[in-house]
Structure 1
């Protein structure tokens, strides 16, 4: 009887311990801690990188129109800026394929800006995967570029969205300096904001959609001002290779 009682007690202890381990695993998984326990950081959005070099990445989001993008490309060419990153939405790429090809042919880096311009946090993981896949295919069909960088519509994300995109092989790119050109606050205001906020390793947010009506006018002074401060222009991918990313989750 004593042996049977000990066996039952041992079985109960094992079951109880296994239950505790299971609940702990669920807790850690939900809080992104399992990756940390095995020596990996949970996925995060990249805002800038830590570097001593005076380099910055000019980035342009495009989701609508065909007037501003050619003007921006014209300024970049005239100013001799050969390195920049454009985040293109899927529908825009299909509708304005010639401009998308021009961006590629001029040697600029291309990333994804998703498909439908909705906040990812308001949709399921399946919806996110479907939208990103559609955008990836559209950009590839037009430009031959397989995107690995993404800027989510409206810069909207949370831990769940980051995990979903990471599992798809994407790196989420945010920004450290927002030009606020999307508010059309005036050419001087856009220029001054960028020049006073830019730091080494910065990712600078600009737009080349038609809703932003002052970007091309502000861009020459932004480029000249950054150069006067000793900055050089690189793509986002080159920036990420420079140093360990400094990232944060909002």
Structure 2
């Protein structure tokens, strides 16, 4: 019995000495770096907001998205293709000035049941401007879209897809979710219809957000779109809005 007690006492003594040493070290560290400089581990409540590129899912669903910032020759035919193909789920990101100057097309997007998000006001990189400027731009677009379509936007795709951590935090504080993409069709480069189609069909994956455009600068989108829709359907994909995609799966996002 005495042997057992001696072993426990020696073990306890070692633990006590180790604990005191750790406390002394922590005290020295606190005194040197100060409470405000100690490293903290981010939690769900403190993590910075991110931009959503895709979602993690095993379901064969994709979100087809279109940016529109100018023109009247391409948007209508894009809508005609979607209508002809019976595709009822897509998300359009509209700029404020375009919405105000093309109200009939914007209203048609709404009437057809497609989701509408914001593409900002002026097509300039948000990261190069102040938070006040960003606030003004977002509000101008928000008001233009609401006045024309009755939609209060909650999703935003920044002009040129440009953002940084500060921009994300500002948009989040305004109640917006920043949406990017994981598959870029490159239709904005007009690389050729076959190139656009093959790029989307080869890169699309479950939970993908696909970037396309319906501005007049994209001259090959209308011809490529039917083949993209048919090709994705042949692969077993269904089309959903961005909001449905986010709501139905685990979001995969990035913060920059």
TM-score (normalizing by structure 2): 0.85
**Superposition map of 1:235-246 within 5 A:** 235-246=241-252
> What secondary structure is seen at the aligned counterpart in 2 of 1:87?
strand
* Shift, 1:38, TM fit: 6.2
What is the rounded CA distance, in whole Å, between the counterparts of 2:43 and 2:58 in structure 1?
Answer: 31
Name structure 1 gaps, 5 residues minimum: 1-12
**SS of residue paired to 1:46:** strand
Alignment match of 2:233 (pick from 199, 202, 227): 227
- Tell me the matched-pair count: 228
What is the match of residue 21 of structure 1? 35
Is residue 193–residue 224 contact of structure 2 (8 Å, CA) maintained in 1? yes
Match of residue 124, structure 2, among 93, 113, 118? 118
How far did 1:68 drift?
0.3
Deviation at 1:248, TM superposition (A): 1.7
User: Residues 51 and 168 of structure 2 are in contact (CA less than 8 Å); yes or no, is this contact kept in structure 1?
Assistant: yes
- Is the 2:48–2:255 contact (alpha carbons within 8 Å) kept by the matching residues of 1? no
Match status 1:154 vs 2:160:
yes
1:105 — aligned with what? 111
Cα distance in 1 for residues equivalent to 2:233 and 2:58: 16
CA–CA separation in structure 2 for the residues paired with 1:241 and 1:184: 33
Distance 2:226 2:45 in 1: 45
User: What's the CA shift for 1:243?
Assistant: 1.2
Give 1:1-250 correspondences, 5 Å limit. Answer: 20-24=34-38, 36-37=42-43, 39-250=45-256
TM-fit CA distance, 1:37: 3.9
Structure showing greater Rg:
2
Structure 1 residue aligned with 2:15: none
SS in 2 for 1:174: coil
1:204-228 per-position Cα deviation (integer Å, ceiling 9, x unaligned) = 0000000000001000000000000
* Contiguous gaps of at least 5 residues in structure 2: 1-26
Q: Tell me, what secondary structure is at the counterpart of 1:61?
A: strand
SS at match of 1:60: strand
Q: CA RMSD in A?
A: 1.8
